[in-house]
Amino acid sequence: MEESTLSLVSNLEILDTLSADSVQEIVGSYGSFCSATLSLLHGGDASDLFSHVQILCKHGLLSLVRDFFLKSLEEAFERNLASKFWRHFDCYSNVGANYEIELQQVLCRALEEISLEKQYQEKCLLLLVRALLLEGKTDSDVEREYLFSKYQLMVSSVLMASLPRHFPELLHWYFKGRLEELSTIMDGEFNGGGDDASQDKDDMDLDEMGKMLHRNGAMDIDESCLQGKFTENNNLVKNIGKVVRDLRSLGFTSMTEDAYASAIFLLLKAKVHDLAGDDYRASVLGSINEWIKDVPLQFLHALLAYLGETTSYYSPSPGLKSPLASHPSACYPAINAPSEGLVRWHLRLEYFAYETLQDLRISKLFEIIVDYPDSSPAIEDLKQCLDYTGQHSKLVESFISALRYRLLTAAVGEPIKDYLRGRKDTIKCIVTMLTDGTGGNPNGSGITGDSLLEELNRDEESQENVGADDDFNTDDKQAWVNAASWVPDPVEADPLKGSRNQRKVDILGMIVGIIGSKDQLVNEYRVMLAEKLLNKSDYDIDSEIRTLELLKIHFGESSMQRCEIMLNDLIDSKRTNHNIKATIKSAQTGSEPAETGASMDILNATILSSNFWPPIQDEALIVPEPVNQLLTDYAKRFHEIKTPRKLLWKKNLGTVKLELQFEDRTMQLSVAPIHAAIIMQFQDQTSWTSNRLATVIGVPVDVLNRRINFWISKGILTESLGKDLNDHVFTLVEGIVDAGKNSGSTGSCEELLGGDEEGERSVASVEDQIRKEMTIYEKFIMGMLTNFGSMALDRIHNTLKMFCVADPPYDKSLQQLQSFLSGLVSEEKLELRDGMYFLKK
């Protein structure tokens, strides 16, 4: 609209400069030009069109000529062609498979009619181009491209504006029917056509067809290039290609490609299901890939050739480079140089096939495992599909769901229990599920409702609270007794309130029944809770309190007392920390702090009741003097407030928030105290040897070398060999303007953990604690084996329970004793032969 308005204004300005005779000539010529245009578009004679166009162009009215001619074309197309074209499909609004043949005929006839009419209009437009060229004021190629692009845009706009809602579905059914027909023919050719097929000299198997196509080179739609039985499909491919070409010329390019692409993918999906089925004893991936090359890719190559899209993949024009291109003959046996479009299609079809087969095998994974090892080929196919798609989490989630539904039954419960008892990480995994929203599955969705903690929350609403000393009922015999005595609810019972006979499932009770003792679960939880609390940089423990309250319902308050004290320590620490800072500030009122001193505001202390916490790892560490003075002042104020209690700092624990300022950047990090102590030594001295630096911060050299890797990995420090091969030199990469000052950093704990080696913990693990406690009983075990010569595990366990008078008394489980004895065997203090333990000689 804007362009037409501008041209009209321009034409009016031209008229203002003309004489009366020129205006009269223009008016006459314009009227005759309009009549000639309308006559031409209705099939009449337009012999005088050229002369009128020349007169109008002579007076500078070229844009007026263009606009009227294009407007007349648009009105004629909308009135005669578009409306007639859409009327062909009015009675097919509810098309289905029964109308496929009739629809094919109607679509082809409608496209043929509108294409012929459109070709006539294009000839009329070409006449206008020729008339304009006679004037000599326009370039032929430019004018032709301009007018035809405007015309094509008009055609597409008119048709899209009146597009019936069911037309895309009509295209889908058309391509689906034609491609199924083509697939049937090609499958018959490649697989053999019948009893008499072997007698026909033109029939051949797949290998012969491949060799024949390979000899003939690139497969084209031309008669000369299509040899063998595939020539019988020439007309069918041509018909499909003609429909695609005509639809594209009408502006339906995207809609057409979507339609035949969806039809191809439906055929491929059906083929995958047909080849795979429920037979897991044979691999089908190779057959699927061969079918893709032999049927859809051959058809697509012929279609693209018909449409003129056969540019070689090896052309210098930039584009997608496929990993298949290095060996084209292997991937496209009948095509010498696949086009870029064909390579794209191959990748799309291959990925879809792999994903379809993967989903099919995942849905039947339980049956596949049951049939193992006969189902090994299906498992290998699934492995290749997952390597291709990377959708391993889909398999994990689906298999977990299948196990919950089909495996967790009374019939197979005992073997699962035995398996879980034998795993060393069972308790740790269970505790992780109690505190982690992913339910212990690292590839899961992270939905909180999937966690074991949420199961406990639901149990809290549906079950009665159990006493602290109640035993867990894990007797399967009682379950059968309850089932045998079941009676239905009365007719008047409200179904929404559940059955009075419904068995209440105590999930934690089942877990404890597998483990053998709730104490092991509580101890592991206490260690994990301590680790989480010590790594907190604030006092936010709402989620930990909620978890503890749920566990107290199931385990009893007495079992969770130590954990409750640990959480209370965090609450008291927050209050004490606030009070100490307030008293220090009031004492400093009116006086300025020392210039080199650190502010008390940057320190938040966690004060522990050590008797109730698990053993905490304690490492020597010398912190910088300003920090040490800050800790001393804090401890002194604590002693004044909490007399006679005193603080004993664990300087290796906690989190330090640092801001490192360089010449070109600033870094904010949250790190462990030892990392902060290391980097702060580089403020005044930019190079240190490992021995000297270890002495200054008070840690062994091997610990320093391990921990300093954090700063090396960040690119802040570099490591080089010193004069002594065992004494490395660490140098600051760039001078720090100021380091060690606390900031409002939002550094994540991932950076803190990133610098630690795997296995570095603030709290001793349950295994370490048990190993330390068991050393008390080592001399009793050695004495028994000296007296008896050899003993089995059960006998050692029972003897310790009856006769060991150590403090604390022996209360370990059989599994814990076995783990300790395995350690003694690895230390070569004992020997294990045929299930009997001997003293090492």
Q: What is the pLDDT of residues 198-228, one digit of tens each?
A: 334 333 333 343 333 333 333 333 333 334 3
Structure tokens at 793: 């595990």
Amino acid at the residue 304: L
String of b and e for 628-654 (b: at least 16 CB within 10 Å)?
Answer: eebbebbbebbeeeeeeeebeebbbbb
446: left (phi over 0), alpha (psi -120 to 50) or beta: left
Mean pLDDT of 514-518: 75
Closest CA to 182 of 309, 98, 300: 300
pTM confidence score: 0.46
Cα Rg of the chain (Å, integer): 42
Asked whether the predicted pLDDT for residue 624 surpasses 70, the reply is yes
Mean pLDDT of 520-528: 85
Running DSSP on this structure, what letter comes out for residue 376? H
**Residue 520 Cα distances to 158, 566, 816, 819, 823, angstroms:** 76, 18, 10, 14, 20
Highest mean pLDDT among 213-217, 347-351, 530-534: 347-351
Asked whether the predicted pLDDT for residue 745 surpasses 60, the reply is no
Average pLDDT, the chain: 75
Residue 720 banded pLDDT, cuts 50, 70, 90: confident
Residue 619 banded pLDDT, cuts 50, 70, 90: confident
Pick the more confident residue, 634 or 15. Answer: 634
Residue 269 banded pLDDT, cuts 50, 70, 90: very high
**Residue 705 Cα distances to 138, 700, 731, 750, angstroms:** 80, 9, 13, 20
User: pLDDT digits over 440-484, tens only?
Assistant: 444 444 444 445 666 666 655 555 444 434 444 445 555 666 666
pLDDT at 506: 65
pLDDT at 714: 83
Burial bucket for residue 690 (CB in 10 Å: 0-12, 13-18, 19+):
buried
User: pLDDT digits over 626-683, tens only?
Assistant: 888 888 888 888 888 888 888 888 888 888 888 888 877 788 888 888 898 999 888 8
Measured distance CA(652)–CA(151) in Å, rounded: 79
pLDDT at 639: 87
The length of the chain, given as a count of residues: 841
List 689's β-bridge partners, or say none.
Answer: 729
User: pLDDT digits over 150-185, tens only?
Assistant: 888 988 888 888 888 888 888 888 888 888 887 787
pLDDT at 752: 41
**Residue 489 Cα distances to 482, 484, 486, 505, angstroms:** 15, 15, 9, 19
